[in-house]
Amino acid sequence: MNDRIIAQLINVSKYYGSGEGRVTALNHVNLSFFRGDIVVLVGLSGSGKSTLLHLLGCIDKQDEGNVIIDGIDTSSMSLEQLANLRLNKIGFVFQSFNLIPVLTAYENVELPLLFKGMDKKSIRQRVDEVLDEVGLLERKHHYPREMSGGQQQRVAIARALVSKPALILADEPTANLDSKTGAGILDLLMSLNKKEHITIVVSSHDSVVLDRIKSVVHISDGKIMVDEIALHNHIA
């Protein structure tokens, strides 16, 4: 196994429903993501982008094949082990931000660290650091309802980032934002990728995203259109 690979899908399929109405959301996908890369998943609506991110993020189970995260096969992991894996290695950024409404920006970001059992002082340091990184340090005591969509998404990115995950998965992070704000979010993700060498996988319809990120995985009807080796060569 190549230890430059952070995440790998081997012959992965995902189906919804059964019998006549069965939908093949992913069809025998083979795909590798390399450490430090930023990759964009593109494809038409319903092509399987979200499904792929869900499997990669271990919040859903594939019907066939193996998902390997940081060298570990997740197929036979228990729910608790998967939760632990997500807590330590994976950060999510969602289209609709999904902040906890009763918590301030600071508290939202702090949440994963609390459950990792970090001490109070290190938590404070790290949370301030990432809030600063996303440019919201002065807003740390604000509640989600007191912030704009773009700001909320920045908090969400800070939350994904705070536990220094190996992989950040962002499913259409700009879709609920206007193009200018979306561009800012994209800039942030790209700069994090560059500075912290975190692997980021973004799915998007957005032409702004496509124009800026060079590694692109095309997906259509649950199939990958670009060969993974070719993809890597393209980045290299």
Ligand X SMILES: Nc1ncnc2c1ncn2[C@@H]1O[C@H](COP(=O)(O)OP(=O)(O)OP(=O)(O)O)[C@@H](O)[C@H]1O
CB of 170 to ligand X, least distance (A): 12
Residue 73's SS3 state is strand
Contact status: 95 vs Mg ion (CB under 5 A)? no
Site string for ligand X, 30-69 (x = CB under 6 A): -------------x-xxxxxxx------------------
Neighbours of 35 (CB within 10 A): 16
**Quick check: 90 binds another protein (CB under 8 A)?**
yes
Asked if 77 touches another protein (CB under 8 A), the answer is no
Residues whose CB falls within 8 Å of the CB of residue 145, separated by 6 or more in sequence, listed in order? 101
**Tokens at 4, concatenated:** 């430059």
Query: How many Cβ atoms sit within 10 Å of the Cβ of residue 169?
Result: 27
Contacts of 147 (CB under 8 A, 6+ apart): 105, 139, 155
Q: Give, as ranges, the residues between 152 and 181 that touch Mg ion (CB under 5 A).
A: none
Minimum distance of ligand X from residue 189's CB (angstroms): 18
Find out whether 40 and 93 touch, Cβ atoms under 8 Å.
Answer: no
Return the number of the residue (22 or 141) whose C-beta is nearest ligand X: 22
Give the residues lining the site for Mg ion (CB under 5 A).
Answer: 50
Give the residues lining the site for another protein (CB under 8 A).
Answer: 54, 57, 59-60, 79-80, 83-88, 90, 92, 94, 98, 100-103, 107, 110-112, 114-115, 117, 120, 159
